[in-house]
Structure 1
Amino acid sequence: MGRKYIIFRADWQEEQGAENRLLAHTGACTDILAEHFDSSNRPIPQPGYRVPQFHNIPAFDAPQFPGTSTYWCRGNWEVVRVEQYPTGATNSEFEMVVICYCQYSPIQAEQKPIKPIDATQSAEKTTAFSGG
């Protein structure tokens, strides 16, 4: 499977949770909750999937990356319907565009630490993959 562009958006009639969808710079309400660029072979999200939320807890910041997300949890927006559109074009950046319509359905989710990436190991894998 090639690269997928996955858009999570509030369902058309969804008004609950609107205060959680305000754009920081304008205060306007948006329908788009998140965008994911997926190059994995994992299947696309299905109804029941919850859009993850990322949080920063300053006490757990890595010194070289202050202010980045340190924890994640399953979010309050749940996928209720999925539409997929294969691009079909050979020169397209994405093989498929996926739109996941979500409803606001709050849950109590456990915060889980984000595992740090070993930069040395990551660089070695990139070099090995690229042949450099």
Structure 2
Amino acid sequence: MGRKYIIFRADWSEEEGAENRILAHTGAITDILAEHFDSSSKPIPEPGYRLREYHRIDKFAQKQFPDASTHSRIGDWEVTRVEEYKTQSPNSDFDAIVVCYCQYSPISTALEPLPNIQGFQKLQEV
């Protein structure tokens, strides 16, 4: 399969975790947890898949990228069902649109360091 637009959203009945879904600019709660644009040949997410959460820990931040995430962990939102819609239009931007419905299911997982961002220094040297 080619290009996929994958939307992760809280299930319609999901009220848990609402405090983590507040839009900064309006204060409203959103059902959309994440969006991914995928051009790989990887299969679409299946029930049981969990989104990753990204965190920034000050003492590990790079000077060149002070606001970048430094760590990630397997997150609290778990995919419970998946719907895939194949596009029919030959001029479509995507071959499929995938909606992953998620349930808030907190777990305790360790933070894992992200690799340092490379290339910035090399760009400055050019």
TM-score by structure 1 length? 0.85
Deviates more, 1:98-107 or 1:17-26: 17-26
Determine the structure 1 residue equivalent to 2:10.
10
Q: 1:97 to 1:64 in 2, by over 3 A?
A: same
CA shift at 1:20, angstroms? 1.4
Determine the structure 1 residue equivalent to 2:87.
87
Q: Secondary structure at the match of 1:23?
A: coil
Counterparts of 1:46 and 1:116 in 2: how far apart (Å)? 30
Q: Which runs of 5+ in 1 are unaligned?
A: 121-132
Determine the structure 1 residue equivalent to 2:110.
110
Q: Which runs of 5+ in 2 are unaligned?
A: 121-126
Quick one: which amino acid aligns to residue 29 of structure 2? C
Higher helix residue share = 1
Deviates more, 1:54-63 or 1:70-79: 54-63
Determine the structure 1 residue equivalent to 2:96.
96
Counterparts of 1:92 and 1:117 in 2: how far apart (Å)? 33
Q: Secondary structure at the match of 2:108?
A: coil
Q: 1:2 to 1:116 in 2, by over 3 A?
A: farther
Q: Secondary structure at the match of 2:20?
A: helix
Determine the structure 1 residue equivalent to 2:42.
42
CA RMSD of the aligned region, Å? Answer: 1.6
Aligned-pair identity in percent equals: 62
Determine the structure 2 residue equivalent to 1:62.
62
Deviations along 1:43-70, one digit per CA (max 9) or x if unpaired, are: 1110000111111112111222111111
Counterparts of 1:87 and 1:118 in 2: how far apart (Å)? 37
Deviations along 1:81-126, one digit per CA (max 9) or x if unpaired, are: 0000111222111111100000000000111111235439xxxxxx
Q: How many residues align?
A: 121
TM-score by structure 2 length? 0.89
Counterparts of 2:117 and 2:61 in 1: how far apart (Å)? 13
